[in-house]
């Protein structure tokens, strides 16, 4: 199924029958991707007295309770409420779900004992483009990202200058395949988060950060239509299912 998408400035065609899901599934397993020092997510039948919500246990339906943390256990989209005392809900702040996006691939570089992504690297990869949504795949890009246990591993992160640059060129939705855009242990500074959401000025309520995506290697860098879909959680973050559609002309 092909569709013509009309924006304020141009129109283009996409094939809606060929979605590219770049989310990571959530499983009740120790192999589920994980960060921030929590245990694995749990999915288990609810129990009410002697009744167990499982057809295998005699119930008429399967009736599971799910326990997880959106920041720690998989693909999630977060808003400014992640770093403010005042409550902000991603469900209230994200009101549009389709965006022209750009996918780029970057290899983090060594900085002392860390691996980081800089403004210069982003400038080179974007080559003058100013997308509304930016998807960044880091390399090496292996299937281990689907089950990586990130706690206490000091994963790669983005320098503050990189976040300031993306804000300056108008990127509203930033999608990464890491557990955070910031350093794992940074004394709570969260420099990239604060820079991207502009907490020292006019806060960007409509900007989002999506972490823990996974972009398969066969998906080429370039322009895509992004469907950034979240669950209706009144929370600073929600599980999400970002999906790309190739632009056919």
- What is residue 86's DSSP assignment? S
Q: Would you say residue 180 lies in a domain? A: yes
Alpha-carbon 72 to chain mean position: 12
Peptide bond into 164 cis (omega under 30): no
Task: Give the torsion sign (CA, 134, 119, 83, 139).
Answer: positive
Q: For position 142, which CATH number holds? A: 3.50.30.50
Q: Would you say residue 103 lies in a domain? A: yes
Q: Would you say residue 159 lies in a domain? A: yes
pLDDT for residue 22 is more than 80: yes
Please classify residue 86 by burial: count the beta carbons closer than 10 Å to its beta carbon, then call 0-12 exposed, 13-18 middle and 19+ buried.
Answer: exposed
Cα dist from 200 to 23, 92, 125, 183, 196, whole Å: 31, 22, 28, 20, 10
Q: Would you say residue 201 lies in a domain? A: yes
Using an 8 Å Cβ cutoff, are 208 and 90 in contact?
A: yes
Q: Would you say residue 51 lies in a domain? A: no
Q: Would you say residue 113 lies in a domain? A: yes
Q: Would you say residue 30 lies in a domain? A: no
Q: Could you tell me the pTM of the whole model?
A: 0.96
Per residue in 171-205, pLDDT tens?
999 999 999 999 999 999 999 999 999 999 999 99
Based on the structure, what is the number of domains in the chain?
Answer: 1
Per residue in 96-118, pLDDT tens?
999 999 999 999 999 999 999 99
Q: Would you say residue 107 lies in a domain? A: yes
Question: Which range of residues forms the domain containing residue 130?
Answer: 2-24+75-246
Average pLDDT, the chain: 96
């Amino acid at each position: 199924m092909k569709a013509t998408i009309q924006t304020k400035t141009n129109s283009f065609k996409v094939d809606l029958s060929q979605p590219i899901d770049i989310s990571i599934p959530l499983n009740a397993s120790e192999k589920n991707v994980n960060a921030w020092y929590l245990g694995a997510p749990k999915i288990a039948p609810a129990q009410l007295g002697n009744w167990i919500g499982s057809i295998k246990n005699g119930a008429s339906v399967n009736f599971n309770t799910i326990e997880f943390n959106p920041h720690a256990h998989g693909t999630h989209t977060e808003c400014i409420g992640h770093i403010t005392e005042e409550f902000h809900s991603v469900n209230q702040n994200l009101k549009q779900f389709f965006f022209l996006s750009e996918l780029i691939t970057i290899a983090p570089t060594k900085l002392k004992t860390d691996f980081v992504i800089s403004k210069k690297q982003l400038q080179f990869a974007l080559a003058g483009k100013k997308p509304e949504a930016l998807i960044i795949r880091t390399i090496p890009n292996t299937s281990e990202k689907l089950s990586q246990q990130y706690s206490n591993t000091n994963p790669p992160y983005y320098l503050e200058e990189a976040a300031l640059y993306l804000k300056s060129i108008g990127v509203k939705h930033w999608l990464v395949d890491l557990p955070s855009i910031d350093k794992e242990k940074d004394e709570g500074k969260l420099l990239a988060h604060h820079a991207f959401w502009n907490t020292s000025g006019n806060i960007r309520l409509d900007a989002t950060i999506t972490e823990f995506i996974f972009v398969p290697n066969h998906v080429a860098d370039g322009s895509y239509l992004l469907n950034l879909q979240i669950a209706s959680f009144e929370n600073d973050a929600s599980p999400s299912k970002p999906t790309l559609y190739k632009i056919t002309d």
